[in-house]
């Protein structure tokens, strides 16, 4: 997928003192998925984005945003 | 403290990636034998059965992600969104390689006759091997 999606998953995760593995456990995905989402390699589905937001106690739009157009 | 499900899934995913990379190399070598090793018109049943079993095995792994004996929870993590997307991309690569190989074989057969079995074995092995290689690369990078 060539579409980009900015995210502040790394910041939100470290703010809560969670490791990638711990967040993966909470959400029910592999650690690789958390890693690739954080690095912008993988654009998550709506369901996964909502699960991540719920696990981190933040609204989904605070975690993910479209890149600015300029 | 025991190993968590996520860690087990991570470890098994990496092993799967390496198995696929090795399997791809073996298949590419076999593909070379298929190109030159099957004399036209010969019947070698044990070889045909071995080929069929191996082909179905790799296709099954590509279709499902494998790891059927690892338990539902680990398998679910090993085949989550990222892995499913990787597998889809790998199968797409295999499809295009099969199409390109078919075109090459079509024209090559004009210059030199190629047995149907050799051609089909080459196509299948090349397509599966490139799918496995792509999947391994996407999973292990």
Give the pLDDT confidence of A15-59 residue by residue, as tens digits: 999 999 999 999 999 999 999 999 999 999 999 999 999 999 999
Q: Buried (b) or exposed (e) across A23-50, using 16+ Cβ within 10 A?
A: bbbbbbbbbbbbbbbbeeebbbeeebbe
A32, A44, A48 member nearest B10 (Cβ): A32
Question: Do residues A43 and A52 make contact, with C-beta atoms less than 8 angstroms apart?
Answer: no
Contact A30 B82 (CB under 8 A): yes
Longest pairwise C-alpha distance within chain B: 65
Distance CA B24, CA B21 (A): 5
Give the pLDDT confidence of B89-126 residue by residue, as tens digits: 999 999 999 999 999 999 999 999 888 888 998 899 99
Can you tell me which residue has the tokens 């699960």?
A51
The proportion of chain B whose per-residue pLDDT surpasses 90, expressed as a percent, equals 62
CA angle B57, B25, B108 (to 5 degrees): 95
H, E, C per residue of chain A: CCCCCEECHHHHHHHCCCCHHHHHHHHCCCHHHHHHHHCCCCCCCHHHHHHHHHHHCCCHHHHEECCCCC
Predicted local confidence at residue B58, as pLDDT: 93
Residue A1 has pLDDT above 90, yes or no: no
Task: Please return the burial class of B80, using the count of CB atoms within 10 Å of its CB with bins 0-12, 13-18 and 19+.
Answer: buried
- Name the packing angle between helices A20-27 and B5-37 (round to 10°): 90
Q: Establish how many alpha carbons lie within 13 A of residue A29's alpha carbon, considering only the half-sphere containing its beta carbon.
A: 23
CA distance B6 to chain A (A): 6
Predicted local confidence at residue A58, as pLDDT: 94
Contact A25 B9 (CB under 8 A): no
Give the pLDDT confidence of A57-67 residue by residue, as tens digits: 999 999 999 98
Taken as a whole, chain B contains a residue count of: 141
pTM over 0.90: no
Contact residues, chain B, for A42 at CB < 8 Å: 81-82, 85
Query: Cα(first)–Cα(last) distance of chain A, in Å?
Result: 21
Predicted local confidence at residue A11, as pLDDT: 95
Distance CA A39, CA B5 (A): 23
- Residues of chain B short of pLDDT 50, as ranges, are 1
Confidence of residue A2 (pLDDT cuts 50, 70, 90): low
A1, A30, A42 member nearest B6 (Cβ): A30
Contact residues, chain B, for A21 at CB < 8 Å: 4, 6-7, 10
- CA distances to A40, A41, A44, B18 from B7, rounded to whole Å, are 22, 21, 21, 17
Predicted local confidence at residue B85, as pLDDT: 94
Structure tokens at B118: 């050799």
A21, A25, A48 member nearest B81 (Cβ): A48
């Amino acid at each position: 997928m060539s579409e980009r999606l900015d995210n502040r998953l790394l910041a939100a995760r470290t703010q809560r003192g969670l490791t990638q593995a711990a967040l993966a456990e909470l959400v029910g995905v592999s650690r690789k998925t958390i890693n690739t989402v954080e690095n912008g390699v993988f654009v998550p589905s709506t369901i996964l984005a909502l699960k991540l937001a719920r696990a981190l106690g933040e609204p989904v739009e605070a975690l993910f945003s479209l890149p600015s157009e300029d | 403290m025991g190993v968590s499900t996520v860690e087990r899934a991570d470890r098994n995913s990496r092993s799967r990636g390496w198995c696929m990379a090795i399997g791809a190399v073996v298949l590419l070598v076999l593909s070379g034998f298929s190109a030159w090793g099957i004399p036209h018109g010969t019947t070698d049943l044990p070889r045909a059965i071995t080929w069929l079993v191996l082909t179905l095995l790799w296709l099954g792994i590509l279709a499902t992600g494998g790891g059927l004996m690892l338990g539902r929870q680990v398998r679910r993590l090993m085949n989550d969104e990222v892995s499913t997307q990787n597998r889809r991309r790998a199968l797409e690569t295999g499809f295009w390689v099969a199409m390109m190989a078919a075109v090459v074989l079509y024209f090559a057969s004009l210059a030199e006759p190629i047995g149907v079995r050799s051609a089909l074995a080459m196509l299948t092995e090349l397509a599966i091997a490139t799918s496995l290689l792509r999947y391994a690369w996407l999973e292990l990078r």
